Chains A and B, each alone.
Chain A
Amino acid sequence: MDQIVSIDAATKDYRLGKVVVRALRGVSLAVTKGEFLSIAGPSGSGKTTLLNLIGCVDTATTGTVKVAGRDTAKLSERELTRLRLDTIGFIFQSFNLVNVLDVFHNVELPLLLQRRLSASERNQRVLDLLERVGLAEHIRHRPNELSGGQRQRVAIARALVTRPMLVLADEPTANLDSVTGQNILDLMKELNRTEQTTFIFSTHDARVMAHASSLVRLADGKLSENGAGPNAAELSEHHSAPGSAVLT
């Protein structure tokens, strides 16, 4: 089963006081394994809402959202949590590390929640990953002792430590300078290639979009553009790898 995410006519309404905000107005999307998909769009276009639906931290008002073949509307809170834990890795715009834990423990945390691996297996996996993201020297540091880029690397390691099918990144470079952001994207792409991990990330930065293998645009809660590969206008000097996003 190559289709990791399939969304069919999903809508999402929020109630803000008496006003109903229609954040998504019927989005359909399919994501297959190994994609490096960028969800682009200005602020308020519904990027985060869409990521929330894909990330199983929220459910659609209407329509269906299937993640790893499971309809999220039919899952309980506990099952959704378990689904997140086992199949999805999160990378946040503000890194969201646990400040009181050191780098090693931050990365190990999802494994501890999973309770599948022995201590030595966990140790091995965490150290390998930290090596991959270039933080082998910093495993005993606390997040507040690290730079922004280093923190996001920790977050990436944390997102990948359970070997999830899917990694969601919400504006992963928004809080980083361009060079660091570039490095982070390079890392993500490398992991995408070597681990065959599917990445979905939201951004409104054209340079970031350029890395995507496929791109969808959101405007006013709708996909505004169907297309395989990034829009030429937004492609700068970088050239993205050919993608295979199927937009229905």
Chain B
Amino acid sequence: MTGYFETLSIVVQIALRNLLASRYKTLIVGGIIGFGAFLVVIGTSLLDSVDRAMSRSIIGSIAGNIQVYSSDSKEDLDVMGGWSFDANQLEPLTDYARVKQVLMSVPNVAGVVPMGINSAMVMSGNTVDQALARLRGLVNKQRAGDKSTELASAYVAERDHVRQIVSVLRGDIENVKLLHDERSVATEDLNAVAHAAAPEFWADFDAEPLDHLEFLENKIAPLATDADMLFIRYVGTDPAVFARSFDRMAIVEGQPIPEGQRGFLFSKYVYEEQVKLKTARRLDKIHEARDIRHSLIKKDADLQRLVRESSTQVKELLLQLDAPKTALFRQKLQAELHGTEADVGKLLSQFLNTTDENFDERYAFFYRELAPSLELYRIRIGDTLTIKAFTKSGYVQSANLKVYGTFAFKGLEKSPQAGASSMMDLVSFRELYGFMTEDKAREIAAMRAHSGAKEVSRENAEAELFGSAPSPAADDGNAPAVDMGAQLAGLAGSHAHEEAAPTGYDPAQLQQGVVLNAAVLLKDQTQLEPTIAAIEAAGKSAGLPLKAISWQKASGLIGQFTVLMRVVLFTAVLIIFVVALVIINNALVMATLERVREIGTLRAVGAQRRFILAMLVLESIAVGIVFGAAGALAGSLLVVWLGHAGIPAANDIFMFFFSGPRLHPSLAGKNLLLALGIVFLVSVISSIYPALLAMRVSPREAMQAEE
């Protein structure tokens, strides 16, 4: 085999020199290949980084590494709730103590957090309701015999506030009538509001406050359209274990739910987005956009919309103002705006019509001067919240829970996904989900004893119910005995019935009883799949219907995001390379046809076919490797640079995907190998057809006279 390498070297020489000789073709083909390699490196690096960042977000907020739920469930678990408010239809795991015991028996499991996820409506009550409730309270105290002057002045202030509200509402309704259509306002409402706004109504008020209050509650309160029903997603859990296990969780305001106490923690995101006074929220948003993203009101249509909404929707503020506050606001706003306008509504509207020049000043003024006189949040920390949820069997269950505070996950404060769920204790969750808690069981037992109901077993139910001896009431044992009518009435009202529910419970209840799912945290996070298998195996041998899924599956659509993006990326890369393949193939076929004489000559003077094949494939591979490497290098440099500089999260959603305000992508060797591998493959594949053509070139071609 003398000269084997020399032969190879001549092949290489001819190949490389041919590439140089036809440099435009080489540049075009190489450019495509380089771009493809660049894209693969950048794309896969970014996706891997987002994947890692998002896994931190998801694992660190609610999901944990693995979620466990009953394999009998009809639906898949989605702890992030996807994009809907519906909770999953999960079959409960009835004995958490055993579930935990089985899970902890798997060696790689570091901890288990019991959970249940559901959503509920919360009636926060509108401003009118709240004012009327306060007034009624004061009236009741007076009627109970309290003659103190504080009470009397509080009563007057609250009464005048209500009167103020009525006049605001009247103005509002008349505006609607003016702007829209007579028919859009019911005459009955108009009359009611006219009646309530009339001086005579208020002249009689002190004499018969209860009658007048009833009129206001029934006829006027429903007209205030700021009646607010919040939809809240919450996770019921063992608050202490949750906080310990998800160490990114931090209390923002208030305090954690104390051990053994029923309670509720708002997600800070939800608290800000939904509970905060809308005007204040809008100001915050504008402030944030200007401060962090350096947007300008005059350039940003979104900010202009926020300004417009603030300026036109001042009713929310006006309803909160009683007479002294109205006067205070008038005085402060006149001073701030250097005007003589007396109407506080118009003053507020003018004040909130902010521009880039005066925004910072007015933002500060709002929080310094006006906010102290306003309820910034419809639900305050320390309030008791009435949560009404549909149980799994469809009826409405309610619970009164004290709001202990708000919480957020560090680095994900602005993320709607991480902030989607609020939190309550597991015991209250069970109650709202329709599981029998110890308290409920006791309550039912008491009711049964009181009403004389007796236990009806399934076997003799028919005889008991339809037999000769009729029983006064029946209880199917599944649902707690509740009066559906009362439940529905409760749903319609707001803070109507606040029964004194026990606020404490035995902490041991958290360690046993029913849960819907459980988050599992691992010692070694890389052993995800083996641990999932181990958990399911342990469940099977213990006779528990345990289904374990990765955090990625557990977070549903959101968890699948990177998978989806990967599909998109690879589709794009595939399309690029298919196009590249066609272009390269065409270029090489053209080149081959141009070189028929040269190839024929080589064949004539004694080059075997495989020499020609090697020459052409080598040309393609050389182009692929050189330009592919250049593209991959360029991509790597960009990734490294981005890794230093960080990619800023453009909006709140990206905060979640980036697990913080900036993504610092890193380069992985496998991405480079992947890029080079793909490029190599494309180069080889694209040269196959032209190489076959070239191989078939007859040495006779050399003998043809030149055209």
Q: Which residues in A have some Cβ–Cβ distance to B below 8 Å?
A: 48, 51-52, 55, 57-58, 77-78, 81-82, 84-86, 89-90, 92-94, 96-101, 105, 108-110, 112-119, 158, 162, 170-171, 174-175
Minimum CB–CB distance from B111 to chain A (whole Å) comes to 69
In the complex, B130 has a CB within 8 A of chain A: no
Return the contact of B608 from the options A52, A57, A78, A100 (Cβ within 8 A): A78
- A residues in contact with B4, CB < 8 Å: 115
Once A99-B21, A100-B18 are accepted as A-B contacts, the answer to whether A114 and B598 lie under 8 Å apart by CB is: no
In the complex, B188 has a CB within 8 A of chain A: no
Which of A77, A109, A117 is most buried by chain B, counting CB atoms within 10 A of its CB? A109
Considering only CB atoms, which chain B residue lies closest to A113 in the complex? Answer: B606
Once A51-B703, A115-B1 are accepted as A-B contacts, the answer to whether A101 and B607 lie under 8 Å apart by CB is: no
- A residues in contact with B597, CB < 8 Å: 94, 96
Considering only CB atoms, which chain A residue lies closest to B1 in the complex? Answer: A115
In the complex, B602 has a CB within 8 A of chain A: yes
Chain B 595-611 near chain A by CB (<8 Å), digits 1 or 0: 00110111111111101
Which of B1, B3, B17, B598 is most buried by chain A, counting CB atoms within 10 A of its CB? B3
6 A-B pairs closest in CB distance: A85-B606, A100-B17, A115-B3, A94-B706, A57-B699, A96-B601
Are A92 and B700 in contact, with the CB atoms below 8 A? no
Between-chain CB contacts (< 8 Å), 14 pairs: A52-B703, A77-B609, A81-B607, A84-B605, A90-B604, A93-B706, A96-B702, A99-B598, A109-B10, A112-B6, A113-B605, A114-B3, A115-B6, A116-B3
Within B624-641, the residues touching A (CB, 8 Å) are none
Considering only CB atoms, which chain B residue lies closest to A174 in the complex? Answer: B705
Q: Which residues in B have some Cβ–Cβ distance to A below 8 Å?
A: 1-4, 6-7, 10, 13-14, 17-18, 20-21, 597-598, 600-609, 611, 698-700, 702-703, 705-706
- A residues in contact with B706, CB < 8 Å: 93-94, 175
Once A81-B603, A96-B601 are accepted as A-B contacts, the answer to whether A113 and B611 lie under 8 Å apart by CB is: yes
- A residues in contact with B698, CB < 8 Å: 57-58
Return the contact of B602 from the options A86, A98, A99 (Cβ within 8 A): A98
- B residues in contact with A93, CB < 8 Å: 703, 705-706
Are A119 and B703 in contact, with the CB atoms below 8 A? no
Once A101-B13, A110-B606 are accepted as A-B contacts, the answer to whether A116 and B2 lie under 8 Å apart by CB is: yes
- B residues in contact with A55, CB < 8 Å: 604, 699, 703
Are B13 and A119 in contact, with the CB atoms below 8 A? no
- What CA separation (Å) do A85 and B602 show in the bound complex? 10
- A residues in contact with B20, CB < 8 Å: 100
Are B3 and A112 in contact, with the CB atoms below 8 A? yes
Once A100-B18, A112-B3 are accepted as A-B contacts, the answer to whether A92 and B703 lie under 8 Å apart by CB is: yes
- What CA separation (Å) do A105 and B10 show in the bound complex? 8
- A residues in contact with B2, CB < 8 Å: 115-118
Minimum CB–CB distance from B567 to chain A (whole Å) comes to 44
- A residues in contact with B1, CB < 8 Å: 115
- What CA separation (Å) do A162 and B7 show in the bound complex? 15
- B residues in contact with A110, CB < 8 Å: 605-606
- B residues in contact with A89, CB < 8 Å: 605
- B residues in contact with A51, CB < 8 Å: 703
Return the contact of A98 from the options B598, B609, B700 (Cβ within 8 A): B598
- What CA separation (Å) do A116 and B334 show in the bound complex? 105
Considering only CB atoms, which chain A residue lies closest to B698 in the complex? Answer: A57
Minimum CB–CB distance from A76 to chain B (whole Å) comes to 11
- What CA separation (Å) do A55 and B603 show in the bound complex? 12
Which of B20, B600, B605 is most buried by chain A, counting CB atoms within 10 A of its CB? B605
- A residues in contact with B14, CB < 8 Å: 98, 100-101
Minimum CB–CB distance from A47 to chain B (whole Å) comes to 10
Which of A98, A105, A175 is most buried by chain B, counting CB atoms within 10 A of its CB? A98
- What CA separation (Å) do A114 and B7 show in the bound complex? 9
- A residues in contact with B601, CB < 8 Å: 90, 92, 96-98
- What CA separation (Å) do A128 and B74 show in the bound complex? 89
Apart from A86-B606, A113-B607: 14 A-B pairs, beta carbons within 8 A: A55-B699, A81-B606, A82-B606, A82-B608, A85-B606, A90-B702, A92-B702, A94-B705, A96-B604, A100-B13, A101-B14, A113-B7, A113-B611, A175-B706
